[in-house]
């Protein structure tokens, strides 16, 4: 646990890797990287302090999953981690599951002999789906509803063996006019490969709860059962 780790490290500074929002109220900000914790106090009384994220860890609440409406700030950028390497198996399986049998995606001979790329291109809906999934822990993990995909552009092709990374920027947030415990957040997600080449950009609107909604419906992990010793 965090307390044990702090005790082992001793006085000084403790560095933890995170991808979260740091601060409270109007001073909250998106951060991906590390949190520096000030370690103070004598033996047996050492304390780590870096705000609500570490408090949640110390209480055993686990990593943050999604955000409440109050935690979004227009202009904040969430860099999703980790990336995903796309394999030939991934691409073929997605095509077969979704009944997209276009030879550009599943026929290597066809792609080599008749297309400008001379190899299979990963089906675009799979690239979008990867980026959407990547964004869930940072953007829509607490969402009430995914309302709309405003735009979707496949900028460059993705090939087998490419690794996709994503980041989302908060473009706007508006409180609900009909229910005071929620609001709508608009984000733009950009996906790029291992070379930094942007391959996909999309915008979506998500209905997310306010903190009051979360408190009324079970908090950070609603519905989580309590282990029962047999």
**pLDDT tens by residue, 148-159:** 999 999 999 999
Share of the chain above pLDDT 90, in %: 67
Confidence category of residue 61, pLDDT binned at 50, 70, 90? low
- Check residue 63 and give its pLDDT: 72
Mean pLDDT for the chain? Answer: 81
Predicted pLDDT of residue 124: 97
Give 65-124 as a 3 state SS string: CCCCHHHCCCCCEEEEEEEEECCHHHHHHHHHHCCCCCHHHHCHHHHHHHCCCCCCECCH
- Tokens representing 51? 């705000």
Q: Is the pLDDT of residue 206 over 90?
A: yes
Q: pLDDT digit string (tens) for 105-116?
A: 999 999 999 999
Core vs surface per residue 179-194: b (16+ CB within 10 A) or e: eebbbbbbbbbbbbbe
C-alpha distances (whole Å) from 141 to each of 38, 39, 126, 145 are 30, 31, 20, 10
Q: Does the global pTM surpass 0.75?
A: no
The 10 Å Cβ neighbour count of residue 221 is 9
Q: What is the chain's length?
A: 230
Would you say residue 139 has pLDDT above 50? yes
**Peptide bond between residue 66 and the one before it cis (omega within 30 degrees of 0):** no
Instruction: Check pLDDT > 50 for residue 187.
Output: yes
Asked whether the predicted pLDDT for residue 193 surpasses 70, the reply is yes
Domains of the chain: 6-64 (no CATH), 77-216 (3.10.129.10)
Mean pLDDT, range 72-78, rounded to an integer: 97
What is the reported pLDDT for 43? 43
Task: Evaluate if residue 3 carries a pLDDT over 80.
Answer: no
Q: Which residue has the higher pLDDT, 131 or 46?
A: 131
Residue 9: pLDDT above 80? no
227 secondary structure, DSSP code: P
Task: Give the Cα separation of 166 and 189 in Å (integer).
Answer: 7
């Amino acid at each position: 646990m965090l307390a044990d780790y702090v005790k082992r490290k001793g006085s000084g500074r403790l560095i933890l890797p995170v991808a979260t929002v740091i601060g409270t109220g109007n001073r909250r900000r998106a951060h991906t990287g590390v949190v520096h914790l000030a370690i103070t106090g004598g033996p047996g009384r050492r304390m780590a302090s870096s705000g609500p994220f570490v408090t949640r860890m110390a209480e055993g609440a686990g990593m943050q999953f999604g955000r409440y409406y109050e935690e979004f700030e227009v202009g904040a950028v969430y860099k999703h981690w980790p990336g995903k390497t796309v394999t030939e198996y991934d691409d073929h399986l997605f095509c077969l599951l979704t009944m997209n049998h276009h030879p550009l995606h599943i026929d290597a001979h066809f792609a080599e002999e008749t297309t400008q790329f001379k190899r299979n291109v990963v089906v675009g809906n799979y690239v979008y789906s990867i980026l959407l999934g990547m964004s869930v822990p940072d953007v829509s993990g607490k969402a009430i509803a995914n309302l709309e995909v405003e735009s979707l552009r496949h900028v460059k092709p993705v090939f087998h063996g490419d690794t996709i990374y994503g980041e989302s920027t908060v473009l706007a947030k508006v409180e609900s006019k009909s229910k005071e415990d929620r609001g709508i957040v608009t984000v733009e997600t950009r996906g790029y490969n291992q070379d930094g080449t942007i391959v996909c950009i999309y915008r979506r609107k998500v209905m997310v709860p306010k903190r009051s909604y979360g408190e009324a419906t079970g908090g950070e992990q609603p519905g989580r059962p309590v282990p029962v010793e047999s």
